[in-house]
Amino acid sequence: MDSRLVWLGLILAVLARPAPAEDLPYVYTKWKQFTVENGLPDDHVFSVKSDGRRVWVGTENGLALIDKRTWKVVRVWREEDGLPWRVITAIDVDPKTGDVWLGMFGGGLARFSGGRFDHFHQLNSGLVNNVVYGVAVENDNVWAATTAGASRYNTVTGEWTIFTEKNAPMEEIWNYGVHYRDGKVHLAVWGSGVLEYDVKTGRWKEYLDPDGEMEIDLYRDDGIVHVIITGAAYVENTLWASSYFGASRYDGRHWRGYYNQDSGLPSDFINNIRARSANEAWFATDKGVGVITDYKTNTWVAYTMDPKTRRGRAEIYRDRELLKTVDMEVGIPHNFIINLDLEGNDVFVATSKGLGVGIGEDYYAGLRPVRPAVAGGGQ
Amino acid sequence: MKARIFFFRAILAGVLVAAAAFLAAAPREPVYVGARACGGCHDGAGMGYQFSIWLHSKHSRSYAALAKPAAQQILQLSGLRGDPQASATCLSCHAPAALAEPWQKEEHLRIDDGVQCEDCHGPGSEYMAEEVMRNPAAARAAGLKMPTEADCMRCHIVKGSHVAVLALPAFDLKTRMEAIAHPTPENAKMGGLRLQTADGGAKRAGPKYVGVAACNQCHRGPESGHQDSLWRLSPHARAWSTLATPRAREIAKSKGLEGDPQQMAQCLECHAPGALAPSEAVLSSFSPDEGVGCEACHGPGSEYMAEAIMRDRRAARAAGLKEVSKETCLPCHRQAHGKQYELKIEAIAHPTRPAKRASAAEEPRYKTPVSLALDPRGRELYVTCSGSDSVIVVDPIARVKLAEIPVGQQPHGVVFSPDGRRVFVSNVFDDTVSVIDAAERRVVATLEVGDEPHGLITDREGKFLFVLNAASDDVHVFELGSLRRLKKLAASRRPWAAALSPDGARIAVSHTLPRLVPFQTPPVAEVTIIEAARGIIEDRVVFPAANLLKGVAWHPSGEYALVTLNRTKNLVPMTRLLQGWTITNGLGLMWADGSTDQLLLDEPDWGFPDPNAVAITPDGRFALVTSGGRDRLAVVDLAKMMSVLRQASPYERRHILPNHLGKPTEYVVKHIPLSHNPRDLLILPDGKTAVVVNGLDDSLSVVDLERFEEVGRIDLGGPKEITKVRYGERLFHNAGITFRRQFSCATCHPGGHVDGLTYDIEPDGVGVNQVDNRTLRGILDTAPFKWNGTNPSLARQCGPRLAVFFTRIQPYTPEELSAVDTYIASIPRPPNRFRALDAELTPAQRRGKAFFERSKTNDGREIPVGNRCVTCHPAPYFTDRRTHDVGTRSPYDTYGKFDTPQLNNIYDSAPYLHNGMALSLEEIWTVYNPDDKHGVTNDMTKDQLNDLIEYLKTL
């Protein structure tokens, strides 16, 4: 054989060898969208809660129920159907009883059980205020984050307790969110950072910005990035917090701040947050969803929607370096993200133009080596 | 260096001084110190014998008076149970300090001192110091009060219960004030209570006086025959204080003795022997004011008082316990002051184990059966008996009683575990469930559940036990194996009974109270559906315009369930009873798809009042329904009932059939007369026999389902005599008093409580003067009655007025009326579930109490006395029994002053205000008190209002 042919073959063989693998996160590429066209009562989706085969959707004009078996909106409740107030800003489900608790913006709290709405507002109950931003079920108690403090309702004794600056380290009483997990309740407070309540001891702990009221992060990673906190989540002994000026993570020892300029956050203006683990958290921003998928390497996935093509896009970042872009026919329905939920491998994104549901087929946590030729999904 | 040390020390000293000053300046909460602390100064001739006057008065014996048999009778007439000395209602007048929290009572306060100084003058810890007491302004600022006539009348107001038992003359306040007057004399000189009060010097060996209070730590209460109280009621207890009377000084003078008899050995020798003991022979717990105390007869007790010694008679004697004989008494009593003395030791006898007294208060104890359940093998019936606090086991085939098992108070529901090994019984009064081992027939465990548990049920697999708690409106779910409580489900109002669907998938729960609805809205009743497999609420089915859903049963096909119900037309005036105008009775059908129908059991010329329970034959052909108010069983042909429904249009089914009195004759095929007040029933598995509980006959009726007639009766063994109370109870539950037997008293007052409705009673216009239905529990002492307070007594309330406005035929005869009123007076009120006697208040409740009793607003303005909560709502019933205008008159009312309602267990009787327009306690003030006429509340913050609500729940 001609030796030139042999050398050519060898060279081609080397060139044809696959490119080296890169550690990349899972990217959600299977999305469903729900709008008024699918039966939602309104496109402004303020809250979402996945509970087994049910997805509860709170909108500006009513409550909807999606059945995961068919992925259809099976029922809608408006005020004429008995819903006490049309604007649903928060939803949680009592895992023991299945009761659905609704926080309503100007309407107080409602318990939805067996088709009956029980309405608790500031005139007929001990709820401190009707403007409810967040709700969380904690054992036999239901917490409500309101604009005038936090209320806790003991469903066994019927006792209402109000937490304000009188009995909690609450410098401002405008509560934006409440979250319960692993024996701790976390309040996200406008102007008062994150307040942590230990259920067992009844003691409070506050997380404030050591930089004070400065609008810049004077020293990096010295505490929460700002005192205007919009959401908090606690999982695996790790506190995640969102603000209008970035995000924070605290593992009990080290703080870490995140901004759009040095991470995959689409924007520093974050409305809410859900955390899956100490390693992964989802941020609802005004410019898309930012997901930190691997804390150690600061790897992110930013989900957005192209307003011109309406196609979905997922961008993988490490620090602020764009590693990969994944184009999708269907992604999140809008970039203004108001709320989120995570259940199992699926994600639920509440936006100002409908609900997006990301199906986590073959989901994996953290990073996996992925060859560049493989596209989307499980990579 | 030295300068630096000095500097730091100075700083430290300054800080400490500042801290001490701060602490000293901070006002302390006053606590009760006890009458003897007051008596340390306020006694003796120099102080007008103030302490002795009190000790000699009935006030000091008021706690002991609760040990008398009459007190037990009064307790029952007040709707209470148990020991009067442990009842908050009784103690709030007889020993008010008993209701204070533990931290508010200093160790020397003795509850057995009854109504003592501080109950009128306020807790004394902050004003008792001499320098404070001598400054009236300072004393008042520290909490010293001078009681007014209104304060006295809070307790001395006439009470029906006391009048009925004691037949005392009318209370003359002026005369009684003179009798207890204890003015401080001019140039008062503080005297000593004690001749020797402290452990003086070195103690000698040998027995020492310990004092009555030490004896009373054990020798008290019903377990010891109320020994402490028997002594306290006797003249022996006043032997020392009697030396302060003018008569005592006369006697002393006649014997040539000048001075204070309380200081004279010649007097003390008999009147307070222990006072003469040397200080080394007396412990600090002893006080000479006890007069002839225990140890005056039994010997100084320090060596024999230990329980281990006391229980050994020989050892106790060896340690100094003396036997008492006439020789003990005669030295003092023989020819004492010229009085003839006849030894009547029985007058002061106080045996440790008294013979069972035939107390007038003891009524024969009826069984009053309520519910029944059949064991899975079909061999034994368990019947709950609310009157005897027991469960009776019956052989339904042999028709004999086999056993009786004591359980908790007022048992109601009963259910077997699917394997038949355990039986669960709900105890309404105790808030517990008794777990009975069926083989051993005894209680082996007790579960804490919610308030007033009624119905019980398990799922078919034996995974869960569901307990329906009527007063806390919830269902507790227990894991049947471990009996661990898993969760609490929100039911509707007063869940009552439950039935498992034939496929075991669903549990239907009935409720006697309808949902809370907006003012002037028809009632809506609910059946809650629980998914049995997961123990969660699956659905809530509503029956419009219905209430009092009690019995529930599934048809064997599973296509529908039946529930007994009332249809009360509460929003139109009760102008007549004809043609079902006011209340009709019937059945609700709940279809598997959640839709409903309603049909009546009443007929045009006579009613089927108080349908209590329903059961369906295994072949699905017939339904049996008990009528508690008409003492009968209705047999409903279900095929015919279905035919009636099928022939009707949807409009007719919704609007006509539920009110059609002509239809029942088409499907009610027979009425079977039974005995008094039939309640629960069940059908034996062979479908041939039904067993029905006759609640007020202490029997079970056995009904043949082929002939549809009663063929036998099983006697549960209750007393045969019918007492007045029992007679009254029967009348109360019988519709014989109403025109065409439409309803009984129990219809609107199930269990003597409320039906959750507001009523337009009088014919003064539709919707005019609506009134909220009120409880009958414990009401005898809360006269007047009626929301406008115009009925001064129960006799007036239940007499002619009842006939004119409600029943529309001849009223009760005087004998019947007396019996009904006697029964009503005995209807018990369950214990308050938010605070047990002597329990600490929670911080929120304590803050709320302060608001309830406050006299100033948040910004320091004085609240007029007439507008303070505690003025119109004083203990024990939290009503002053007067009418007031609290600004709640609505445009539909023709008057604006309303009788102050009692607040006991107020958490359990929503809605509120005279017409029920406030759906929660909060709304009384957040919505219906804009002008601060119902107490000053508009300055309160939301958390302060929450605290007030928390406190109100403890009343």
**Kind and range of the H or E run holding B26:** none
Average pLDDT over residues B590-599: 96
Q: Which residues of A259-276 are buried (b: 16+ CB within 10 A; e: fewer)?
A: bbeebbbbbbbbbbbbbb
**Chain B partners within 8 Å of A140 (Cβ):** 488
The widest CA-to-CA distance across chain B, in whole angstroms, is: 112
**Chain A partners within 8 Å of B528 (Cβ):** 114
Q: CA triplet A315, A317, A323: central angle to 5 degrees?
A: 80
Residue in B with minimal Cα distance to A123: B926
Q: What is the predicted pLDDT for the residue at B358?
A: 46
CA B860 to chain centre: 37
Q: Tell whether B534 is within 8 A of chain A (Cβ).
A: yes
pLDDT digits (tens, 9 = 90+) for B1-35: 777 777 777 777 766 766 666 555 566 889 999 99
pLDDT digits (tens, 9 = 90+) for A179-192: 999 999 999 999 99
Provide the Cα torsion B275, B278, B281, B284; round to 10°.
60
Contact B489 A97 (CB under 8 A): yes
Assembly ipTM: 0.90
Residue B279: pLDDT band (50, 70, 90) is confident
Alpha carbon of A340: minimum distance to chain B alpha carbons (Å): 26
Task: Indicate the average pLDDT of chain B.
Answer: 92
Using alpha carbons only, how large is chain B's radius of gyration in Å?
Answer: 32
Residue in B with minimal Cα distance to A117: B540
Q: What is the predicted pLDDT for the residue at B418?
A: 97
Alpha carbon of A274: minimum distance to chain B alpha carbons (Å): 27
Q: What is the predicted pLDDT for the residue at B150?
A: 86
Query: Looking at the predicted structure, is the pLDDT value of residue B911 above 80?
Result: yes
Contact B946 A160 (CB under 8 A): yes
Best B536, B541, B590, B832 member to test A by mutation, with max A CBs in 10 Å, is B536
Q: Which of residues 844-873 of B touch A (CB under 8 A)?
A: 844
pLDDT digits (tens, 9 = 90+) for A322-376: 999 999 999 999 999 999 999 999 999 999 999 999 999 999 999 999 876 544 4
Q: What is the predicted pLDDT for the residue at B278?
A: 87
Contact B536 A97 (CB under 8 A): yes
Percentage of chain B beyond pLDDT 70 is 96
Q: Tell whether B526 is within 8 A of chain A (Cβ).
A: yes
pLDDT digits (tens, 9 = 90+) for B865-883: 999 999 999 999 999 999 9
Q: Tell whether A169 is within 8 A of chain B (Cβ).
A: no
Contact A161 B526 (CB under 8 A): no
Contact B537 A99 (CB under 8 A): yes
Nearest CB to A122: which of B486, B526, B942? B942
Nearest CB to A96: which of B486, B492, B539? B486
**Chain B partners within 8 Å of A115 (Cβ):** 539-540
Query: Looking at the predicted structure, is the pLDDT value of residue B199 above 60?
Result: no
Q: Tell whether A123 is within 8 A of chain B (Cβ).
A: yes
Contact B490 A159 (CB under 8 A): no
Query: Looking at the predicted structure, is the pLDDT value of residue B953 above 70?
Result: yes
Q: Tell whether B742 is within 8 A of chain A (Cβ).
A: no
Q: What is the predicted pLDDT for the residue at A378?
A: 44
CA-CA distances (angstroms) from residue A352 to A34, A46, A89? 11, 8, 13
pLDDT digits (tens, 9 = 90+) for A165-220: 999 999 999 999 999 999 999 999 999 999 999 999 999 999 998 887 767 777 88
Q: Tell whether A65 is within 8 A of chain B (Cβ).
A: no
Query: Looking at the predicted structure, is the pLDDT value of residue B784 above 80?
Result: yes
Selection from B924, B519, B953 nearest residue B757 by Cα: B519
Nearest CB to B539: which of A99, A114, A161? A114
Nearest CB to A166: which of B492, B923, B943? B943
**Chain A partners within 8 Å of B950 (Cβ):** 159
For the beta sheet containing B709-715, the strands, ordered from the edge strand earlier in sequence to the opposite edge, are B678-683, B689-694, B699-704, B709-715
Alpha carbon of A95: minimum distance to chain B alpha carbons (Å): 10
Q: For residue B296, report the phi and psi dihedrals to the nearest 5 degrees.
A: -60, -30
Selection from B105, B107, B82 nearest residue B95 by Cα: B105
pLDDT digits (tens, 9 = 90+) for B326-355: 888 888 888 778 777 777 777 788 887 766
**Chain B partners within 8 Å of A162 (Cβ):** 942-943, 946
Place of tokens 């390693």: A279
Cβ neighbors of A123 (< 8 A, separation 6 or more) are B922, B923, B926, B927
DSSP string, B500-517: E-TTSSEEEEEESSPPP-
Average pLDDT over residues B558-579: 94
Contact A111 B528 (CB under 8 A): no
Gap between the Cα atoms of B272 and B277, Å rounded: 10
CA-CA distances (angstroms) from residue A78 to A42, A55, A117, A127? 10, 17, 11, 22
- Give yes or no for a contact between B349 and B357, defined as CB atoms under 8 angstroms apart: no
Alpha carbon of B487: minimum distance to chain A alpha carbons (Å): 6
Gap between the Cα atoms of B563 and B541, Å rounded: 12
Contact B946 A118 (CB under 8 A): no
pLDDT digits (tens, 9 = 90+) for A112-159: 999 999 999 999 999 999 999 999 999 999 999 999 999 999 999 999
User: What six digits make up the tokens of B645?
Assistant: 């429904």
**Chain B partners within 8 Å of A98 (Cβ):** 534, 536-537
**Chain A partners within 8 Å of B492 (Cβ):** 116
**Chain A partners within 8 Å of B540 (Cβ):** 113-116
Alpha carbon of B762: minimum distance to chain A alpha carbons (Å): 30
Q: What is the predicted pLDDT for the residue at B361?
A: 47
Contact B923 A123 (CB under 8 A): yes
